[in-house]
A and B are shown apart, each in its own frame.
Chain A
Amino acid sequence: MDKEMIRRCTEAMNEGRMSRRKWLQLMLASGLSMSTISAMLANTGVLVGRADAATPLRVFNVPKFTGFVYFELAKAGGEKACKELGAQQIYIGTTTADVEGQVHVLQNIVPQRPDCIVIAALDINAPVPTLKQARRRGAIVVTFDADVAPAGRDLFINMAPFDVQARAMLESALANAPDGGKAIWIAPTPTVANFISQKKAIDDLIAKDPKFKSIQFVDTLYANDDADKSYSIGTSAMQAHPDLKLFISGSGISTPAINKAIQDTDRVGKVFATGFALPSTMKTYLSSGTCKQYALWSPYKYGYMATYFAILLKSGKIKNAEGVAVDVPTIGSRTIEEGSVADLSSMLFFSKGHDDFDTATPMT
């Protein structure tokens, strides 16, 4: 270490005091790099919605994380609603499902005095203080896909009441394995609120409706919404339960990954993985018969409805009160229920031949 120190200090000595010229040179170089970075940012189109006060209502769409096709579709839906109602959507979010990251994004939105914030929250509590601040400054906050504590938002658009979700998943399960059998429930983590409620609704439905009695859950596994983890959990679980029939999951990431595991360990036809998933990720499995049917709501309509309600609330066309009904184009009439929650509930079933949003068969 000493030789290194001597070398560096002699180097330091002969460079010693920064001559005026060298100091300017350093300044120029650093300044240059700073300006190139900001210039790059300014015009790469990444810079979305350069805000100035005069434009119409500004709606900020904040997904759980960017780069996931589910939220890209919701963004497109939101875009359409804004165009119809003369507003401007700004889509901004973190790249990873990082709670703080999302709160930082919100903290950067608040000073821009947003008119509406449409958000899929990563945590029930973390965004609340910042969302409260936004609402104090007159912003309407509508949550979708995952709710926050009521104090943090004006309205929550639920994809569907949990019993509707449960029915959609169980019917898909039977479509795959008409005479039911052993099943495993896959959720991201043991504590995510809507997955807990989904499972409870499923258990109630199995107890209540004889049609689903043949499905018995033998285990619950957690895949952390990670494709790789779901794959390895799926393969391991199939070993652990040789007579397993069904994987049911409400996570759009786990369902396709386990289908791939089924394909790779050539158990097609013996074991099925269904529940909610995205068409783009399930096309191959529908065509290869690995999975006969799964369900999902349309994220496009989901984004559209959430933004539609947000703009109406902000522009005062409707009041945020229980029982207020709104006729949402292409979706139908939806009412704000108690606790200011409204349901999208336009479930779709996807099967071979009906494998994307426009050809999917709506659930009755």
Chain B
Amino acid sequence: MIATPGTVLEGSAGSGVARLSVSQLSKSFGGIHALRAVSFDIAPGEIHALLGENGAGKSTLVKIVSGLHVADHGEVFLDGVPRLFRTPMEARRAGVVAVYQDPKLFPHLDVTENIFMGVQPLHRLGTIDRRRMYDRSAELLCDLEAGLSPTAMVAGLSIGEMQFVEFARAMAEGVDRLLFLDEPTAALTPSETERLFRVVRRLRDRGTSIVFISHRLEELEDLVDSVTVLRDGQHVTTRAAAELDEAAVVRLMVGRSIEDLYPGRTELAAETPRAVPSHLGEVRLSVRGLAQRGVFENVSFDVRAGEVVAMAGLVGAGRSEIAQTIFGATPPTSGQIFVDGKLTKVSNPRQMLSLGLAYLPEDRDGEGLIPRLSIMRNLVLPIMGRLSHFGVVSPARERDVSRRYAADLQIKAQTIDQAVATLSGGNRQKVVLAKWLAMNPGVLILDEPTHGIDIGTKAHVHAIVRSLAERGLAILLISSDLPEVLRMGDRVIVVADGRITGVFSRADATQEAIMSAASRRRELGR
């Protein structure tokens, strides 16, 4: 049933029945409680913002309602009717769709084919009615003011344009009840963001409920009708947008005093903030004017021996890209990198490793480990050459190095020959950490080291990082976890949209300051 523009759907605003109502929704992934008994309602024909820090459970909630995951317990009601979606297709047929940050499309085909794939309008004899399809596609694109030609090839589109294709597809399939937008504006230019908001408002007027998941508070101010804030998987509040200003929302999102960080976890609460190191060694890593066209530009900072520099910012700000460029995984378009004062020429991971610079990637299983190999094999992978003589590997030396580091980092496993895939998230992270410590690096770049691991291991990782700094390592800690940034960072660099938008010493680094610097947009310049 394709919603023809202009008609208002039944059950629109004010008729009492909630478009989406979630009660006692809980979901945990191997020890990590992503959602804990979350309940709230969203009225029909309303733009709703779902806010919270990284790991607050926003994406998990969206994935459950849109059929990608199934909740452990709790129920989802659509227009008062309890529904359970096992696949994205089931959700779509019920009128619920989620548009993710990296849209899943077919690059070789054009915009219209991507919109109507699987639901193409047919002639009587079953062949695709191309004329009607392209007209309908042009109509949808024009309706969305996407400014896209129906015959444009998807391979040539920007992320923003791809998102418009996903919207057009949702409308083509008559998805008109509930639309989730997960971090839609992260990769959009200001003009694209304005266009997006105009479309969202028009959809709302037609009765569709739209749920915005975003960090960009200032963007949402004059758009959103009501707000729900989640923190650490728990529902904090659901209020009308008018009742909250930006500062109040930030306080709700992050506003918990350091003391009651994790109620009931003694070892974390007892973590005292790191004493600012008295003496700092010389500059181990210094980056000057580093840039990657279209991703980040003129990034310059130094990291001294014994110092932990925290790099804060929102998802998609370009911090991982900066780290990978420093590590030599991707060549920079300009800029220089000095390790221990020496300018590094052609850079690739192997060369940076030989200079003592190690990089713990954000995607643990995809880039940090080889899941099917044993703990030992993973651990010694970078230093196989050093431990071998004349190219022949010596299992004895490998075994004792890995046993030493496994014990040192308290990796919980029966034997070090156990496949890494059988370990918990926390232990896998420790294996990656051990892998880099085993080559005793001078500089260590950690990209979201405590992302998605249980609280206990998180504290232990913090302790390890602290002891490494004391031993004189220069550490660059990339993290979206504000408390972690505040507690671990001697200095805090904030990155937004590929630019450094703020540098704070330990003294004046507050959550509010960092949060506002992190969400400062390139043009809005507020």
Contacts and interface: CB of A to CB of B under 8 A. Distances in A.
A13 B365 contact: no
Nearest to A1: B366
Interface in B402-441: 419, 421-422
A325 interface: no
A10 B420 CA distance: 11
Given A5-B371, A5-B372, A10 B421 contact: yes
A2 to B, nearest CB: 4
B194 to A, nearest CB: 36
A6 B422 contact: no
A151 interface: no
Contacts of A9: 371-372, 419, 421
A2 B366 CA distance: 6
A12 interface: yes
B417 to A, nearest CB: 14
Contacts, number: 16
Secondary structure at the B interface, as helix, strand, loop or mixed, is helix
Residue of A2, A9, A12 most packed against chain B (CB within 10 A): A9
B429 to A, nearest CB: 16
Secondary structure at the A interface, as helix, strand, loop or mixed, is helix
A9 B366 CA distance: 13
B423 to A, nearest CB: 11
Interface residues of A, number: 7
A9 B370 CA distance: 10
A6 B366 CA distance: 9
A347 to B, nearest CB: 64
B422 A13 contact: yes
A12 B419 CA distance: 11
Nearest to B371: A9
B446 to A, nearest CB: 21
Contacts of A12: 372
Contacts of B365: 2, 6
B412 to A, nearest CB: 17
A13 B366 contact: no
Interface in B91-136: none
A156 B437 CA distance: 78
A9 B371 CA distance: 8
Nearest to A8: B372
Nearest to A3: B366
Contacts of A10: 421
16 contacts: A2-B365, A2-B366, A5-B371, A5-B372, A6-B365, A6-B371, A6-B421, A9-B371, A9-B372, A9-B419, A9-B421, A10-B421, A12-B372, A13-B419, A13-B421, A13-B422
| A-B pairs, 5 with minimum CB distance | A2-B366, A9-B372, A9-B421, A9-B371, A13-B421
Given A5-B371, A9-B421, 14 more contacts: A2-B365, A2-B366, A5-B372, A6-B365, A6-B371, A6-B421, A9-B371, A9-B372, A9-B419, A10-B421, A12-B372, A13-B419, A13-B421, A13-B422
